[in-house]
A and B are shown apart, each in its own frame.
Chain A
Amino acid sequence: GQQVMQIPQYQHVQEGEDFTTYCNSSTTLSNIQWYKQRPGGHPVFLIQLVKSGEVKKQKRLTFQFGEAKKNSSLHITATQTTDVGTYFCAGEKLTFGTGTRLTIIP
């Protein structure tokens, strides 16, 4: 079955530094979704990418979908303490990746 892996598993950054998490699928995806889970909370939808090579931005967040539609990335510019949480990608049938846990050092 489909496997979705994310790297890194953990990331600690100084406030103001950039952060990137990568998502890789064993199979080609029709779309990919990104979610954020704050500590003690539940996953919340951020965005969906559908087209090969698609790039979408939400303020300081930039999402990319690979040309082969098997990988994706989320980049956060100039992190803030509000960015703390675990970021998940999700592929077909809402199968989630392993997640990247982001902590911010003030």
Chain B
Amino acid sequence: ETGVTQTPRHLVMGMTNKKSLKCEQHLGHNAMYWYKQSAKKPLELMFVYSLEERVENNSVPSRFSPECPNSSHLFLHLHTLQPEDSALYLCASSQVGDRGRAFFGQGTRLTVV
């Protein structure tokens, strides 16, 4: 138990579907992250939210849309994905300003068919 919970753990979706990944942290942190992990690019940083504001968006396609309604919750909305988007999506949280270490969730294994 890391204090960061991701749901669902596994997701299979068609290319025309819309789905959302959820992340919740119980650590009182003020920053949350989405990473994509695949064989081609291990731990690719997608989005960073610090104090509920998006501060990093690393050239991620618009078919991925993040949402951070408060400091404890982070969502990744998915629509019209491609098969190459199949990967492990990891959420993490940290305490910004304290060179805080990242605590990761268990990840969501996404398969796009």
Using a CB–CB distance below 8 Å, which chain A residues touch chain B?
30-31, 33, 35, 41-45, 48, 50, 86, 88, 90, 93-96, 98-99
Contacts and interface: CB of A to CB of B under 8 A. Distances in A.
A62 to B, nearest CB: 19
A42 B107 contact: yes
Contacts of A90: 102
A42 B104 contact: yes
Identify the 8 closest CB pairs spanning chains A and B, nearest first.
A96-B43, A42-B104, A45-B101, A99-B42, A31-B99, A43-B104, A94-B102, A42-B107
Interface string B33-57: 1010000001101001000000010
Contacts of B33: 94
Contact of A98 (B2, B42, B101, B103): B42
A48 B101 contact: yes
Candidate in A31, A42, A44, A50 with the most chain B CB atoms within 10 angstroms: A42
B43 to A, nearest CB: 4
Interface in B63-113: 90, 92, 94, 99, 101-107
